[in-house]
Amino acid sequence: MPPFLQVQGLADNVRLDCLQARSSSEVIDLEVLPGVGTVLVIVPEGWGVQCDRLGRTWGAVSCTVPSQASWGNPLIVARGSVGLGKFKARGANWFDRRRLGQVR
């Protein structure tokens, strides 16, 4: 996973699935550009996502993962604006684990 990413849910949804990602950086800078779509970030257990630098006008920001990463795991720092869209950061659910073959 690169140390800097720029995403924009302009008129569609963006799914950033980090479940099998490896990062050499302790902090990943995620710049979110305004749009009307949804930006979904799925992180594995131990990773953290800070959403306090994300602005919104009519959109929504939802983060259900810790804002601090556990030792040895990267932290995603989301910044920018969601505009009319949504930003969601969450851990893996049953469907994500099944897709990876971890649930039978």
Residue range 4-60, pLDDT digits in tens: 999 998 888 999 999 999 998 999 999 999 999 999 999 999 999 999 999 988 999
Q: What is the pLDDT of residue 11?
A: 86
According to DSSP, residue 70 is labeled: P
CB 56 within 8 A of CB 79: no
Q: Tell me the pLDDT tens digit for each residue of 58-75.
A: 999 999 999 999 999 999
Kindly list the domain boundaries of the chain, sorted by start residue. Answer: 4-94
Helix, strand or coil, per DSSP, at residue 45: coil
CB 88 within 8 A of CB 41: yes
Distance CA 48, CA 101 (A): 24
CB 85 within 8 A of CB 59: yes
CB 78 within 8 A of CB 86: no
